[in-house]
Amino acid sequence: MNLDVVLQWLKNAWPTIVVTSAAAWGYFEFVGKKWIDHRFSKDLEAFKGEQQQKLEAYKSQQQEEIERLRHRLSSRISKIHEKEFEVLPRAWLMLNDLRGAAHRALDLTMKPYPDFRNFSQAKLEEFLGSEPVNWLAEYQKDELRKMNSSERQERYYMDALQSNYMNEANDKHRKFLNYLIEHQIFMTGEVHDKFFGAQKALLSALTSYDVGKGTDHKLVREGQEELINNMQARIDETEKAVQKRLRVEEA
């Protein structure tokens, strides 16, 4: 076959070859696109599934963390309330104990005094050795033994007793104030203010009486009037605040 024949055949077949090639290319392009779309869709679904699993795992982890924090918060709140049920009743008892001591110190209660006029030496020794007067120091007992006048003994004993009551009240006040300071973090604002308000009023009464005793009757009277006229209202207000906080009415 010569070159002219070959060229003539190609010339005649070229349109068919072009059409066939175009059709083949179109077919492969269509099939390729479908395959790519299918593969992409499959990979996208797998990616979505993987991300969804990670999201669910993250949500579960976060929920566990939230529950852990909620439990810790609930536990702390519960412990604070438990501490309140310990602190507030204790402070309430100490306040009333201090109030009673203040009444004794400010000479607002009946006090039994021994009748030294009818004491023999043996009776005096029996009295000085009894438990109710263990608060007397040994030097005070010696002073009473040396006195040859029942009036002097009575005055000395009364002054010593009054001084003992004042020391007792001051000591109870010191302990009460320290307790309030140490435990005020467990008190709400209202309860805190009521307790400290009563504490300051009692301290003022004790100080006025102690400073004015024997020299300034006005100060003595001011101290006594604080207890007589105002303290009961302060005690009642503190009691209501404590009951409200402890929800006594709901018990």
Q: What is the pLDDT of residue 223?
A: 94
Tokens of 114: 């021994």
Q: What is the pLDDT of residue 246?
A: 85
Tokens of 218: 């006005």
Q: What is the pLDDT of residue 73?
A: 43
Alpha carbons 36 and 88: distance in angstroms, whole number: 76
Q: What is the pLDDT of residue 75?
A: 47
Q: pTM of the entire structure?
A: 0.67
Q: What is the 3-state secondary structure (H, E, C) of 53-122?
A: HHHHHHHHHHHHHHHHHHHHHHHHHHHHHHHHHHHHHHHHHHHHHHHHHHHHHCCCCCCCCCCHHHCCHH
Contact 164, 111 (CB under 8 A): no
Q: What is the pLDDT of residue 50?
A: 73
Contact 210, 166 (CB under 8 A): yes
| CA distances in angstroms from 44 to 30, 33, 39, 58, 107, listed in the order given | 21, 16, 8, 21, 92
Q: What is the pLDDT of residue 89?
A: 93
Give the number of other Cβ atoms within 10 Å of residue 207's Cβ. Answer: 15
| CA distances in angstroms from 10 to 1, 2, 17, listed in the order given | 13, 13, 9
Give the number of other Cβ atoms within 10 Å of residue 251's Cβ. Answer: 6
Along the chain (251 residues), what's the average pLDDT of each consecutive run of 10 residues?
A: 58 56 56 63 67 68 59 50 88 96 93 88 93 92 92 93 95 97 92 96 95 90 93 94 78 48
Tokens of 170: 């001051």
What is the distance, to the nearest Å, from the Cα of residue 182 to the centroid of all Cα atoms in its chain? 10
Tokens of 50: 């993987």
| CA distances in angstroms from 6 to 10, 14, 16, listed in the order given | 6, 12, 16
